[in-house]
Amino acid sequence: MKQTYNPDTLPAPGGFSHVAVSSRAKTVYISGQVAYDTSGTVVGEGDLSAQTTQVYTNIENALKACGATWDDVIKTTLFVCDLNLDKAMIIRDARASFLADEGRPASTMVGVQSLARPELLLEVEAIAMLD
């Protein structure tokens, strides 16, 4: 079971929960996912929204492979090339269809200089908890 908290003593979050607590025993760690399709081709070159959708689709597929869903995710870490507020909002909008309005995972977004390939704009890791 996952519970999320947004204490009044912290600023209102935008698209994530400040705290996620799980009482489950099995932990699933999903490696950083980038905007590759199943053939290894980068999807949405130069398009952060398209890349975000592909990244979150890849995470969803990884979750399904081990019997998990987005409801089981307790933490995500996002690495964004040349992060700024506009890019953060594009990512937030694109990932909204994957995450429920309530019970969103705890999340950290970090600006980075580059990723493994210059056409990659975003990489996301996820941690999920299962029974």
Q: What is the DSSP letter of 17?
A: B
Residue 129 has pLDDT above 90, yes or no: no
- Give the chain's domain count: 1
Q: Which domain holds residue 125?
A: 2-130
**Beta strands 106-112 and 73-81, pairing class:** parallel
pLDDT value, residue 61: 92
Residue 81 has pLDDT above 90, yes or no: yes
Instruction: Give the torsion sign (CA, 52, 57, 60, 66).
Output: negative
Tell me what the pLDDT averaged over the chain comes to: 89
CA angle, residues 67, 71, 76, in degrees to nearest 5:
100
pLDDT value, residue 31: 87
Which residues, 6 or more positions from 50, have their beta carbon under 8 angstroms from its beta carbon? Answer: 35, 43, 44, 94
CATH number, domain of 24, equals: 3.30.1330.40
Residue 131 has pLDDT above 70, yes or no: yes
pLDDT value, residue 100: 83
